[in-house]
């Protein structure tokens, strides 16, 4: 019976596609329960001041400790969370947990939290953020919300007023993965962002002595500074990249060379010890 109804579908039946779909559906079901069962955890990657080597703060990155699949990375479930609407409660949990941890560390750290498009456009994100700040006692000025250009892609008055609403709370806003989207430059002018995060793909090619790659990154750093933003380089994996960025006056850096994202306990220990590779 189902076969008749779905004849067209079965004509192009592809076992690999079927597996992928089944996996997605089962992950979607599991994800709903994951939130209730405390299977989500945050790892924290330090943001290091490139001039002083000090840890300025952390970025919270969500992971899912799946009971049978093990650690599931965010790129494998954020999309599912977005399409099922689960991103709203999930995003709220991430915000609250990251702020709670930042306050618990008892230092004037910044905490960066990723916000996805769907989370930005669904409901009242500013109200949620205000609630979380009040609940956790996190000072607004130490929370930084990271958004990709896709959030700003729909350059509507509605999105602009959402941004203005968030800014009014006193939180910082960062443009994540800068340089990978479209018409980046126009957005910089229109949206009041505080931080510009240079995408890993640009950092990747640094330190190999290619003058054009260097010029490109140097230009992004200047551009950010010209618009009054702090610049953060993502994905620093070696010394050469770090010193090149330091030389360009890039403010902050993140990457495996400095530290991988760590569970809260280890991130706390790093706060005490400092980042070994960071000494200027
Ligand atoms: P992102 O915000 O651009 O985060 C940076 C990603 O690069 C992280 O991957 C991080 O582990 C990885 N990374 C950091 N340093 C290096 C390095 O030196 N080399 C390389 N190759 N990679 C590095 P992760 O944790 O898998 O997160 C991937 C993406 O998932 C994030 O990209 C972000 O867009 C999204 N994401 C993570 N957590 C959340 C969350 O709580 N909410 C939402 N909406 N999205 C999240
Ligand atoms: Mg990010
Ligand atoms: Mg990024």
DSSP of 96-138: HHHHHHHHHHTS--EEEEE--HHHHHSS-HHHHHHHHHHHHT-
Q: Whose CA is nearest to atom 27 of ligand 1?
A: 74
Q: Is any ligand 1 atom within 6 A of the Cβ of residue 235?
A: yes
| pLDDT at 6 exceeding the cut of 50 | no
The pLDDT of residue 3 is: 44
Q: At what angle do helices 87-105 and 15-36 cross, to 10 degrees?
A: 50
- 177 C-beta closer than 6 A to ligand 1: yes
pLDDT tens column, 10-21: 556 677 777 777
Interior/surface letters 22-60, b for 16+ CB within 10 angstroms, e for the rest: eebeebeebbeebbeeebbebbbbbbbebeebebbbbbb
Residue 155: per-residue pLDDT:
63
CA distance 213 to 202: 7
Is 247 near ligand 1, meaning CB less than 6 Å away?
A: no
The pLDDT score that the predictor gives to residue 276 is 84
Give pLDDT, residue 23.
72
Reported pTM: 0.92
Percent of the chain with pLDDT over 70: 93
State pLDDT tens for residues 104-129.
Answer: 999 999 999 999 988 988 879 999 99
Mutation probe of ligand 1 site: the residue of 39, 114, 125 with most atoms within 8 A of C-beta: 114
**37-90 pLDDT, tens digit each:** 999 999 999 999 999 999 999 999 999 999 888 999 999 999 999 989 999 999
Cα(90)–Cα(85) distance, rounded to whole angstroms?
A: 9
Distance CA 136, CA 102 (A): 9
- Torsion sign, CA atoms 12, 16, 18, 21: negative
Give dist(CA 240, CA 246) in Å, integer: 10
Tell me the mean pLDDT in the region 144-166. 84
CA distance 111 to 246: 22
- 233-271 pLDDT, tens digit per residue, is 999 999 999 999 999 999 999 999 999 999 999 999 999
Query: Does ipTM top 0.90?
Result: yes
DSSP H/E element including 245: helix 239-247
Cα–Cα dist 60/41, whole Å: 10
Cα 208 to Cα 15: distance, rounded to the nearest angstrom: 44
**CB-CB contact of 129 with 166 (8 Å):** yes
Residues making up the chain, counted from first to last: 280
Burial class (CB in 10 A: 0-12, 13-18, 19+), 255: buried
Band the pLDDT of 223: cuts 50, 70, 90: very high
* Average pLDDT of the chain, as a whole number: 89
62 within ligand 1 shell (Cβ under 6 A): yes
Name the CA radius of gyration of the chain, rounded.
Answer: 20
User: What per-residue confidence (pLDDT) applies to 4?
Assistant: 46
Atom of ligand 1 nearest to the CA of 197: 3
Q: Which residue has the tokens 């009242």?
A: 124
Our mutation pick for probing the ligand 1 site, out of 74, 116, 150, counting the most ligand atoms within 8 A of Cβ, is 74
Per-residue buried b or exposed e for 262-273, using 16+ beta carbons within 10 Å of the residue's own CB: bebeebbebbee
Which residues does 51 contact at the CB level (< 8 Å), separation at least 6? Answer: 246, 251, 280
Q: Is the CB of 10 under 6 A from ligand 1?
A: no
pLDDT tier, 2 (very low <50, low <70, confident <90, very high otherwise): very low
**Interval 86-110: pLDDT, tens:** 999 999 999 999 999 999 999 999 9
The total of other beta-carbon atoms located within 10 Å of residue 5's CB is: 9
Closest residue by Cα to residue 88 from 30, 128, 132:
128
């Amino acid at each position: 019976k189902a076969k008749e109804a779905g004849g067209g579908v079965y004509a192009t039946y592809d076992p690999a596609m079927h597996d992928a779909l089944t996996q997605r559906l089962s992950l979607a079901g599991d994800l709903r329960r994951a939130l209730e069962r405390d299977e989500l955890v945050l790892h924290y990657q330090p943001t290091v001041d490139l001039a002083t080597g000090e840890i300025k703060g952390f970025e919270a990155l969500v992971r899912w400790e799946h009971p049978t699949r093990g650690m599931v990375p965010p790129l494998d479930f954020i999309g599912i969370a977005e399409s099922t609407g689960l991103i709203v409660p999930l995003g709220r949990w991430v915000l609250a947990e990251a702020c709670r941890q930042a306050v618990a560390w008892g230092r004037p750290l910044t905490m960066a939290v990723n916000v996805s498009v769907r989370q930005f456009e669904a409901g009242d994100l500013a109200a949620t953020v205000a609630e979380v700040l009040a609940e956790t006692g996190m000072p607004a000025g130490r929370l930084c919300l990271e958004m990709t250009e896709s959030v700003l892609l729909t350059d509507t008055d509605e999105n602009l007023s959402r941004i203005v609403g968030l800014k009014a709370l006193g939180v910082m806003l960062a443009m994540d993965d800068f340089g990978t989207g479209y018409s980046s430059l126009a957005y910089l002018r229109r949206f009041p962002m505080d931080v510009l995060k240079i995408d890993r793909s640009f950092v990747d090619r640094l330190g190999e002595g290619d003058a054009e790659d260097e010029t490109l990154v140097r230009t992004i750093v200047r551009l950010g500074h010209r618009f009054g933003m702090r610049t953060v380089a993502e994905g620093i994996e070696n010394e050469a990249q770090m010193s090149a960025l330091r030389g360009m006056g890039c403010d902050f850096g993140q990457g495996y060379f400095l530290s991988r994202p760590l569970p809260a306990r280890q991130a706390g220990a790093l706060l005490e010890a400092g980042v070994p590779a960071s000494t200027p």
